Homo-oligomer: A and B are copies of this chain.
Amino acid sequence: MIIQIEPQSDVPIYEQVSRQIIEGIARGDMKPGDTLPSVRNLAADLCVNMHTVNKSYHELEAKGILTIRAKSGAIIRSVEERALTSEQLQQIEKNLKPLVAEGMVLGASVDQIELMMKKVFADLQMPVEGV
């Protein structure tokens, strides 16, 4: 798993870490049961503070993606353990909406946006038809 931090990004570092871990899991780079590097090791790798990585891990735990065992490590939960609640779906939908709306207002067509979605799926190596 390679994580690239953009220091000048408007996205906080801890959020960049969270997202790239999620994408790594979605892509299959990391599988359920795998142990994440210790917060100290990953922090050293990324040249960031320990607490920054720790914040990411806890964010992922709050989302139900990880299980943190105190003084041991962080383990990726299986899909079965992750309960996809309607609240989570609604949250994602809520975050999706302004992006789609912006695209539409800027002049993108429905087709363009759906094509964009398919590109994202392809990038995450999800099995989609018609890519």
Asked if A79 is an interface residue, CB under 8 A from chain B, the answer is yes
Q: Is A36 an interface residue (CB 8 A)?
A: no
Q: Which residues of chain A from 92 to 131 have a CB within 8 Å of any chain B CB? A: 92-93, 95-108, 110, 112-114, 116-117, 119-121, 123-124, 126-128
From A41-49, A50-58, A81-89, the one touching the partner chain is A81-89
Residues of B within 8 A of A22 (CB): 98, 101-102, 105
A26 interface residue, CB < 8 Å from B?
yes
**Range of interface residues on A (Cβ < 8 Å):** 35 or more
CB-defined contacts of A108 to chain B, threshold 8 Å: 84, 89, 92
Judging by beta carbons under 8 Å apart, are B19 and A98 in contact? yes
The answer to whether B106 touches A124, judged by C-beta atoms less than 8 angstroms apart, is no
Within A5-38, the residues touching B (CB, 8 Å) are 19, 22-23, 25-26
Nearest CB of chain B from residue A39's CB, rounded to whole Å: 20
A19 — which chain B residues lie within 8 A by C-beta? Answer: 98, 101
* Residue contact A63 to B100, C-beta cutoff 8 Å: no
| Residues in chain A within 8 A of chain B (CB atoms) | 19, 22-23, 25-26, 63-65, 79, 82-84, 88-89, 92-93, 95-108, 110, 112-114, 116-117, 119-121, 123-124, 126-128
